[in-house]
Amino acid sequence: MAEAASDPRDVMRTADGTPLKVSIARALRRNRLMALGLIAPLFLFILFSFLIPIVDMSLRSIDNSVVPDNLPRTVEALADWDGENLPPESAFAALAEDLRDGRESREIGKVATRLNYEISGMRGTVMGTSRRVDRIIESGAFKEGLIDANEDWGKPETWLLLKRLSSPYTFGYYLNSLDLRFDPQGAVEAQPEFRRIYVDLFIRTLWMSLLITGLTILLGYPIAHLMATMPLRYSNLLMILVLLPFWTSLLVRTTAWIVMLQSEGVVNSVLVWIGILSDDGRLELIHNKVGTIVAMTHILLPFMVLPLYSVMKTIPPSYMRAARSLGANQFTAFVRIYMPQTVAGIGAGSILVFILAIGYYITPALVGGTSGTLISNQIAYHMQSSLNWGLAAALGVILLGLVIGLYFTYNRLVGVDKMKLG
């Protein structure tokens, strides 16, 4: 020590002679690596099970590689076509050869499915023609043969569609999600009225999720307040009552609501029994939006109560007493002293409930009828039944965009740093 102090150029060293700075840096680096090692499993898990699949799924919303990959000759032949009348004989020949190859590789069905999203009936046209294409190629009369196999090949719209889908990317799925479409010339136009569904569903999903969030605040706030202020043994009992439904299977809770709300169900029967309703005038409480709102509010209530409770628990009762002793009445003290301190809990609960509500689909499918199903039910339909994953992805990306947009608005208005998740 005395030596180091006597020579200012000499650096501090540890017992084994390495400079202290180096030694500290080494120790810090080791700590950082260990910390990294500890979070690595979670990071990799999120990367592989969440981020990569989401990016992959999102890319499907613009992916159109199935057409250029499987009809390469046709795409090339149509590149110079001006879009007037019918394309030249060479395009027909290219298509015939592409169809033959596609049939051999069994990839042609994917093209057929893709084209059918745009014009109904194209699946049959492509599949039927591909079965007869060998004979057409043998005969050498491509144009005649194809039009003879299916008259769709004699329509300029069919060829305009193929030309429009030549690019490996498309915005068609996004247009479809917004009830728009390309007209044969490639300009954007509205879908005919009888095919417009998605915009209405997006709007309905948003307002119903907001309403459900509001209802959970209204119902959850008093419960959370009661739990936070009651003696422990009573509040524990209440906590169990809040958590019990939370631990029950989603399907069981949804089915329970069907039993409660259906027209021969508990609620209606009790109302008829005490004479409020006549037997013919039973209320329609389920298979419509009332059913969805009631069931989802109940199912999502714990996600509001728990953050509220955890925030309220930390508010010292002495604040309220101080306000009262300074002259505020019970109401003023509650509104001006207590409530502002619970904003963090309301914010956290609202974000949780809203984001869960916007993606719900099992409950609306079971109790929603026609007026109570949400956009997620359409996404599920396109994932599982129609296999139109491009459209499902586009709908999903739009929904994600909406949520992110609302989150930023929320951040500007309330501030995410004020949020407290418990």
Partner 1 sequence: MKKTLRYTTIGLAGIAGLAFAASAQAVELNVVSWGGAYTASQLKAYHQPYMAANPDVQLNSLDYSGGLAEVRAQAEAGNVTWDLVDVVVADAIRGCDEGLFMELDHNAMLEAAPDGTPPMEDFLEGTVSDCFVPQIIYSFAFAYRTDAFKGEQPKTMADVFDLEKFPGKRTLQRSPVNNLEWALIADGVPVNEVYDVLDTPEGIERAFAKLDTIKSEVIWWTEGAVPAQLLADGEVVFGNGYNGRLFSAIEEEKQPLAMIWDGQVLDIDGWAVPADGKNIDEVLKFMRFATDTQRLADQAKYISYGPARKSSLPLVSTHAELGIDMEPHMPTKYAELGFLTNFQWWADNRDELNERFEAWLQQ
Give the footprint of partner 1 on this chain (CB under 8 A). Answer: 106-110, 112-113, 116-117, 120-124, 127, 193-197, 200, 262-265, 287, 365-366, 369-371, 378, 381, 383-388
Q: Which is nearer to partner 1, 209 or 388 (CB)?
A: 388
Q: Which is nearer to partner 1, 109 or 184 (CB)?
A: 109
Q: How far is the CB of 198 from partner 1 (least distance, A)?
A: 9
Q: How far is the CB of 188 from partner 1 (least distance, A)?
A: 18
Q: How far is the CB of 232 from partner 1 (least distance, A)?
A: 43
Q: Which is nearer to partner 1, 122 or 293 (CB)?
A: 122
Phi, then psi, of 19 in degrees rounded to 5? -60, 140
Q: Which is nearer to partner 1, 143 or 382 (CB)?
A: 382
Query: Of 66, 100, 142, 20, nearest to 388 (Cα)?
Result: 66
Q: How far is the CB of 245 from partner 1 (least distance, A)?
A: 22
- The answer for residues whose C-beta is within 8 angstroms of residue 24's C-beta and 6 or more apart is none
Rounded-to-integer distance, Cα 396 and Cα 376, Å = 8
Q: How far is the CB of 109 from partner 1 (least distance, A)?
A: 3
Q: Which is nearer to partner 1, 125 or 310 (CB)?
A: 125
DSSP 210-277: HHHHHHHHHHHHHHHHHHHHS-HHHHHHHHHHHHHHHHS-HHHHHHHHHHHHSTTSHHHHHHHHTTSS
Q: How far is the CB of 265 from partner 1 (least distance, A)?
A: 8
Q: How far is the CB of 122 from partner 1 (least distance, A)?
A: 8
Q: Which is nearer to partner 1, 54 or 414 (CB)?
A: 54
| Beta carbons of 213 and 350 less than 8 angstroms apart | yes
Q: Which is nearer to partner 1, 10 or 200 (CB)?
A: 200
Query: Of 144, 140, 112, 117, nearest to 128 (Cα)?
Result: 112
Rounded-to-integer distance, Cα 245 and Cα 256, Å = 11
Query: Of 304, 299, 281, nearest to 366 (Cα)?
Result: 299
Question: Quick one: tokens of 74?
Answer: 């046709």
Helix axes 198-229, 375-384, angle to 10 degrees: 120
* Residue pointed to by tokens 């009888």: 194
| Beta carbons of 154 and 113 less than 8 angstroms apart | no
Q: How far is the CB of 394 from partner 1 (least distance, A)?
A: 14
Question: Quick one: tokens of 194?
Answer: 């009888």
Q: What is the dihedral of CA 300, 303, 306, 308, to 10 degrees?
A: -100
Query: Of 91, 74, 102, nearest to 154 (Cα)?
Result: 91
Q: Which is nearer to partner 1, 338 or 381 (CB)?
A: 381
Query: What is the three-class DSSP state of 370?
Result: coil
Q: Which is nearer to partner 1, 135 or 195 (CB)?
A: 195
Rounded-to-integer distance, Cα 359 and Cα 325, Å = 47
Q: How far is the CB of 371 from partner 1 (least distance, A)?
A: 8
Q: How far is the CB of 277 from partner 1 (least distance, A)?
A: 16
| Beta carbons of 215 and 293 less than 8 angstroms apart | yes
Q: Give bridge partners of residue 63 from the DSSP assignment.
A: 169
| Beta carbons of 378 and 202 less than 8 angstroms apart | no
Q: Which is nearer to partner 1, 224 or 260 (CB)?
A: 260
Q: How far is the CB of 94 from partner 1 (least distance, A)?
A: 22
Q: Which is nearer to partner 1, 332 or 386 (CB)?
A: 386
